[in-house]
Chains A and B, each alone.
Chain A
């Protein structure tokens, strides 16, 4: 524990990122004890109340208690991000190892698909997929839709990292001293994989919020992106219902900043050369 704290002192980005994410988790966990999540459904509160004692975050036009919406929706949004992020990085890493093992043709095909896929704007492909699915999506389906493209970027970056690791001097030394090749690469790759994972989670959350704001999200679920969709749908900005968008915006900002600083911190572990320039 002492060692962890001392390390965090040396790596302020990681500390800041973890602190921001912990704040979000604590907010949800503590509020959950006082709030009935059922109030996140429409018609469970008077409509359009600004923040007050009874409704600290106010209520929206359909009569949702916005505090309850945040408590119910934040975990849902994070869930989409984590499911899609894990599938993306897992699939990406698996593909890279297959490609690195067989090399040759398979490697070319995998790299080709990832390169081509990355030149096509992801949000638009996701829109086509989401529009094609009949009926409204559930939160888990949403995660799968986002995951369908989430492996492209990890595949490319992990592959580049593996190739560069393979040539490094210290990997050569480790191999000469009797460690197995794939074993070394995997151990050396771990911090890098962690950074890629956090990055992918953040990208997946961004993509899911994008789809939701466009109206392609899970209409029944009170996720943060759907809340912003309703904000836009009801023109809450022009009507001056500031409390409606304030809470989701603050939470999304905190999550993005937290994930971003964690990535920066992990990059510093994965790539010690960055330390010199910090």
Chain B
């Protein structure tokens, strides 16, 4: 029954989360790195201090971060913390908690990637449907090669090229960051416009690449659907071409696209880490980049955990399929 299916799905979900958390915990410890000591030594060498007292400081910080307890205790506490989404303090920005850092960055990434994913899905699906439709205007065929080529390019490379063209050569758009330095974040038109102009280039580099992918897969599905008997039958009945296009072809061809959209939405946190890094966009990707630079293990772990967990929630979207496509049902036959 439905319920049994949902329970099983949820069980798998928890299992993956636990596996990810465990991997997250043991992998860095296997390598025997000591992030606290490394950080302190780094600070000491920057400030030119003598290294006396480093040992005691390390011990004190380890006590505070709970790193002096036996491994199994640490693991138990860690699992408890994860369940409460508490990722401890950031080592590099000490008094700040990892959760705060991530909470600050999340809206930026979700806003940018959510919008661009939906936008490229919509544009790509319509374009692809028309490209697979024999009655579509001839000139549309010329769109194919550029779409293919764009599809093969990684987001961030296109980002680099766009930055050069539209921010350096023709200085139309800002080059870096999520908003202008000195702008006060708030809900007013001035700030929103500033934010939008900063998001335009990263968004463009994602949309241009992703649209190609959506269009290509949609076109493939269209071609297959149009070979189906019911489409031939509809033509033989003398239905209007526009009816055949929307009701007979589009509606059937878009189903796999919706599946792919669910998967793509699961990737929105990790999909454009590099785009954010290139544009210095203040989202999850940039936070991760800084954490890697500063060897801030807790921040890295927190981000990986959140990204995996949020990505997996798209499992839930499975449940809406029977409603989209009556042929699917989760009842045992």
Contacts and interface: CB of A to CB of B under 8 A. Distances in A.
B31 A133 contact: yes
Interface in A225-270: 228, 232, 237-238, 240, 242, 245, 249, 252-253, 256-257, 259-261, 264
Interface of A: 116, 119-121, 123-125, 127-129, 131-134, 206, 209-210, 213-216, 228, 232, 237-238, 240, 242, 245, 249, 252-253, 256-257, 259-261, 264, 276-277
Interface of B: 12, 16, 20, 23-24, 27-28, 30-33, 132, 148-149, 151-154, 156-157, 160-161, 163-164, 168, 175-176, 220, 223, 266-267, 269-270, 273-274, 277-278, 288-289, 292-293, 295, 297, 300-301, 303-304, 307-308, 311-312, 315
Given A116-B16, A232-B278, A128 B160 contact: no
B143 to A, nearest CB: 15
Contact of A121 (B31, B168, B267): B267
Given A132-B31, A257-B153, 9 more contacts: A119-B16, A123-B273, A124-B270, A133-B31, A206-B154, A210-B274, A215-B293, A237-B160, A257-B152
Nearest to A238: B175
B16 A132 contact: no
A214 B292 contact: yes
6 contacts: A120-B311, A121-B307, A125-B23, A128-B301, A134-B33, A238-B168
Given A116-B12, A210-B274, A249 B157 contact: yes
A243 to B, nearest CB: 11
Contact of B273 (A120, A210, A256): A210
B300 A127 contact: yes
B152 A215 contact: no
Given A128-B27, A238-B175, A245 B160 contact: yes
Contact of B163 (A128, A213, A237, A276): A237
B149 A124 contact: no
B78 to A, nearest CB: 15
A245 B158 CA distance: 12
Nearest to A252: B157
